[in-house]
Amino acid sequence: MTVLPIVIAPDPRLLQKSAPVAAVDDDLRRLMDDMLETMYASNGIGLAAVQVGVHKRVLVMDIARGSDRYEGRDESKSQPLFLVNPQIVGESEEQNIYEEGCLSFPGNFGEVERPKQVKVRYLDYHGKEQLLEADGLLATCVQHEMDHLDGKVFVDHLSLVRRDMILRKMKKAKKQMQAEG
């Protein structure tokens, strides 16, 4: 498995819509394995393919393992989830607020309100249709990752002032990184 470079904002690739996957084959499984490895290496709990520059409707998550940010990290508790062509088929009226971060926005966080529970239909690692009934952090995570598939990022849910502040900060950090080579 390979740790892939993560696309860092601002980057036009993050604003592009991802295309549905036609077949879950070995090539796609290799991509999902690499995505999981990449997510673990960055201490994340979710990653969409677009974040490694691949515009396919694929995401990986692992809430059980957690992260330093959300209730600590426990590497003995790996429970990876692979979701292909995910679709929300139900959501609660009740909302939840989490302070979200994103591997494409390192060091930046913001409170986002989303439905507390969602039902998601998807194809798993083997191409089998599954239904995920997510609540709490898992529900927030899957909605955050699914936003990525439509070219949306978590800062789009924040106030314009907060969003612009984060984007300006990211732009500056990127310029600095490029200047340092």
Binding flag, residue 60, Ni ion (CB under 5 A): no
Binding flag, residue 84, Ni ion (CB under 5 A): no
Binding flag, residue 102, Ni ion (CB under 5 A): yes
Question: Which residue in the list 93, 94, 111, 145 is annotated as catalytic?
Answer: 145
For residues 147 and 18, give the distance between their C-alpha atoms in angstroms, rounded to a whole number.
10
Strands 95-100 and 110-115 turn out to be antiparallel
| Helix H or strand E segment including 112 | strand 110-115
| Phi, psi (deg, nearest 5) at residue 133 | -105, 105
Closest CA to 43 of 97, 96, 83, 101: 101
100 classed as catalytic:
no
Tell me how far, at minimum, the Cβ of 171 lies from Ni ion, in Å: 18
Binding flag, residue 6, Ni ion (CB under 5 A): no
Binding flag, residue 52, Ni ion (CB under 5 A): no
Q: Which residue, 106 or 127, is less far from Ni ion as judged by CB? A: 106
Tell me how far, at minimum, the Cβ of 145 lies from Ni ion, in Å: 7
Active site positions, annotated: 145
